């Protein structure tokens, strides 16, 4: 059966080399990492790279926020909590460390982390701009700081994943994943999912939740007047970021070739004592042969995005915005997490053979 992306024809099983076929990656979240690591990362012991990445990320974020305070400080301060309590600071720092650890443990490169951070941070700044009336420039500057402050240390200390690597020799799947028309089609599809979920929220209960559980809401007119086409244009960067974070690694990694087959090599008999979590889930769902590598990558990255988006949106809205109630932060975070899950399902439909 053909893919749902026009002209998206993935390499069939019989064209795979034996070497690729026998490359059984135990954790499909850890896609192949290019050997083009920079000299700095190669000279450092592997045990020191993550602590250094954390230190650089926190220091760079603090420096950039200090430099930008004259442009954004007054508007953001008007709606921000006074973070003097230990639990406020502890919650923000703990989540920042957890976010970096998740990205490092999952072997994300700086491209993955940049797009994941963008997808996680946009809900917070969308809330400030749409409902609290914060100027667009005042939210774009801290958004850029959040993305660059974590991407730069990963760029210095980690190589690029093969799905993103611009190598001279590319597999057919890499050619597809890095093809501009395919990227634009899938990005538009992803953006439309985000736009539809948010538009349905505006037309149903979201605005009522905002008035009820966010004391500092200034205006709902912008939310009421927003058309789905305007949201589609606004969320175009989100669609592209979701494509790069979910779709491209699933399709374009040589270690996880993207075929919608379970395995190019014979499967061993299911053993509950030695089976992995994904194998156990697949068997319980009636798939005796397990999940394909592409399905595992899509599922893991979609769940990672949905979970991180929910936690980040909750922490930032409840901890940093004055007058936000617990239930309101949970409901607003749930809307965006639903959008992330829906986008992952959409990409699964696109890549299905």
Which DSSP symbol is given to 315? Answer: H
> Please, which residues bridge with residue 321 across strands?
80
CB 270 within 8 A of CB 283: yes
Residue pLDDT, tens place only, 105-156? 998 999 999 999 999 999 999 999 999 989 999 999 999 999 999 999 999 9
Residue pLDDT, tens place only, 157-167? 887 765 556 65
Quote the pLDDT of residue 42: 72
Ranges of each domain in the chain: 39-351
Quote the pLDDT of residue 288: 52
CA geometry: angle at 304 spanning 204 and 89, to 5°?
Answer: 85
Neighbours of 229 (CB within 10 A): 10
137 burial (CB, 10 Å; 0-12 / 13-18 / 19+) is exposed
Round to whole Å and give the CA distance between 109 and 247: 15
Express the helix, strand and coil content of the chain in percent, nearest 5 each. 65, 0, 30
Round to whole Å and give the CA distance between 249 and 243: 9
Tokens of 220: 């709902």
**What pTM does this model have?**
0.82
Report residues of the chain scoring pLDDT below 50: 1-2, 5-28, 30-36, 258-266, 286
163 burial (CB, 10 Å; 0-12 / 13-18 / 19+) is buried
Quote the pLDDT of residue 291: 64
Quote the pLDDT of residue 69: 85
> Please, which residues bridge with residue 132 across strands?
none
Nearest to 142 by CA among 160, 161, 119, 124: 124
């Amino acid at each position: 059966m053909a893919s749902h992306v026009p002209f998206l024809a993935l390499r069939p099983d019989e064209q795979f080399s034996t070497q690729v076929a026998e490359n059984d990656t135990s954790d499909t979240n850890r896609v192949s990492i290019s050997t083009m690591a920079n000299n700095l990362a190669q000279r450092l012991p592997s045990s020191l790279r993550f602590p250094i990445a954390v230190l650089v990320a926190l220091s760079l974020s603090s420096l950039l926020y200090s430099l930008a305070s004259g442009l954004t400080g007054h508007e953001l301060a008007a709606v921000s909590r006074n973070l003097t309590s230990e639990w406020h600071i502890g919650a923000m720092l703990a989540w920042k460390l957890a976010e970096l650890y998740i990205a490092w443990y999952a072997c994300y490169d700086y491209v993955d982390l940049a797009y994941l951070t963008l997808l996680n941070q946009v809900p917070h700044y969308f809330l400030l701009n749409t409902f609290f009336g914060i100027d667009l420039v005042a939210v774009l500057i801290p958004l850029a700081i959040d993305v660059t402050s974590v991407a730069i240390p990963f760029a210095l200390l980690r190589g690029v994943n093969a799905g993103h690597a611009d190598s001279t020799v590319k597999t057919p799947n890499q050619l597809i994943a890095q093809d501009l028309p395919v990227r634009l089609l899938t990005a538009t599809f992803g953006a439309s999912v985000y736009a539809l979920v948010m538009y349905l929220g505006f037309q149903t209960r979201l605005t009522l939740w905002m008035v009820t559980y966010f004391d500092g809401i200034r205006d709902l007119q912008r939310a009421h007047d927003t058309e789905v086409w305007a949201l589609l244009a606004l969320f175009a960067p989100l669609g592209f970021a979701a494509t790069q974070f979910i779709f491209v690694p699933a399709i374009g990694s040589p270690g996880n070739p993207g075929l919608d087959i379970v395995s190019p090599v014979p499967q061993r008999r299911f053993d509950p004592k030695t089976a992995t979590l994904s194998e156990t889930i697949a068997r319980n769902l009636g798939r005796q042969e397990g999940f394909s590598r592409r399905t595992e990558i899509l599922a893991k990255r979609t769940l990672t995005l949905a979970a991180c988006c929910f936690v980040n949106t909750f922490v930032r809205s409840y901890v940093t915005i004055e007058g936000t109630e617990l239930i309101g932060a949970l409901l607003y975070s749930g809307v965006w997490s639903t959008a992330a899950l829906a986008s992952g399902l959409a990409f699964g439909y696109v890549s299905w053979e």
